[in-house]
Structure 1
Amino acid sequence: MLTLALMVEIASLVVADYGSAMELMIGRQDQGQSRWLARAAVDWGRNVLAEDKRTSQTDHLGEIWATKVAPTAVEDGEVAGEIVDYSGLFNLNGLVANGIVVPDQVESYKRLLRIIGISSGEADGLAAALVDWLDDDEKREANGAESTWYAEHGKRYRAANGPLMDIDELGLVRGYNEDVIDRLRSLVAALPESVPLNVNTASPEVLSAVVAGLSIDDARAIAARCLVSPNANVGSFLDQLPKMATMPPASRFSVSSRYFLVGGRAKYGQAVTRMQVLLDRKSIWPEIVWQKIL
């Protein structure tokens, strides 16, 4: 109820403020109101996450921020919103650090690709192509693709040789078709820097990928227990790993989160707006990394 009440309050204020502004033509006014309402959903997310930071040392899927707000009537419109923990996803930009390949992260990514049904050979090629896209040189990995490959295949762009800005950028990388990207979409993120993985919100697929020797079934069991009893610290998670799993450094994991994606959907009249905003909660008040209207 707290999230719903806050959403309605913020959205109502936004509509009131917008109503006092200069009138627009009818169609544009609906679109403008719709966008303002979508931004209200983002403001709701920032408020919820700031309050969570003030009152909790851990982040898990049983907290208020993880509750979706269903479409809710506000004045003459409708607004909905949700928050996704991006610190619980596999960070694709972590395959390369300071322009240099991180081998164990690459191996984790290959495991993730195999977990979602990609063959070993194709997984190797996809990982190599992404490494070439991210690293800061033009030396081609085996089965990879640097700028010369894209030129030879009629592409009018070069390898970025830098971090991904967004998951949709994968569509430019060799081998990443719509099917592959759709399989990855709920499991990976493109974060601006490396951060520990939140084991309280990570999916079984991601847990199995980042911990060598952790089967998907064991990862599902760990994730299920976490829903009932979230980990208070990283040690609690590590204690649950089976003996056959390779014990990773504790520094790779966390029980709190820094990056979140807030999604807002608003309708006003005939206009509908969907907005996504990546937030960095480095301090109490989350800062906007990027935003886009879909």
Structure 2
Amino acid sequence: MRYIKLRELEVSRIGLGAMGMSHGYTGSGTDDAESIRTVHRALELGVTLIDTAEIYGPYTNEELLGRALKGRRDKVVLATKFGLVSHAGDGAWNLDSGPANIRTAVEGSLKRLGTDHIDLYYQHRVDPNTPIEETAGAVGELIAEGKVRAFGLSEAGPDTIRRAHAVQPVTAVQSEYSLFTRGIEERVLPVLRELNIGLVPFSPLGRGMLTGTVRSTDQFDENDFRRDNPRFTGENFQRNLALADEVKALADEVGATPGQVALAWLLAQGDDIAPIPGTKHVARVEENAAADTVTLTAEQLERLSSLPPAAGDTHTEAQARMLER
């Protein structure tokens, strides 16, 4: 495993997204023992960046990681997120990045994760009712107190990133970025590079479709959020399957899996990028970690970059209202 810097934070080139172990996907929360084995195997492979959030569950994903990392905390750059649970207000899935809410959130996350500090603390979604300067200042206080090492933003737009960074340096921005989702390239990525802020792509495998293993929505159980995701419905799904098949064809040429090729393309976009493919299976984390050894030629990279964009929005209408682009 190679390592890179997200600003001052050294992390593995490929991280691990833990959300699906507890939340959102088919089978989430049904086999914690396998999820814990997956975390342990990731650490053995040199993966250090592990990502969660208080909203995943809510709370159960942080609790799971707390158990998985017991006695292993020093091997991990641990990232979690606040702002999608309003603790003194309307509860889960309600934006609140006010300083008082952040104080409540961080204490809960520290307890559930079984740690005295969080390495990378992200605002999960921009809160239009709280000036970003107040949010950045509140996290800055936590950094000064040693409860947090670094400040991050998720799905923030260029203006918000600049304003936050002026108050408290932003170490990383987490946004959806993959062969299927490239919207940040035009406006967000140039700002990150100007300000020396790292990028942590989530859903780097197109929520599973770029692995070539998703062939029908019948594979999803009733709790799988992809069931009503625009990219997985109707004509969009068939068009996106065809795109995934093109990635598979190139992967067959390379002698790698489609998922490894999708990750290798992402890694080729810069040494300031650390994707966090999510999985709850040991075999998949082994496959993902090995993507760093896949080398694509300039012609192969161009073929992948030239694929048309995925059909359909990446979020439902309600989810999209929480995004800055």
TM-score, reference length from structure 2: 0.27
Q: Comparing both chains, which one has the higher relative contact order based on Cα–Cα distances under 8 Å and sequence gaps of 6 or more? A: 1
Provide TM-score, normalisation by structure 1.
0.29
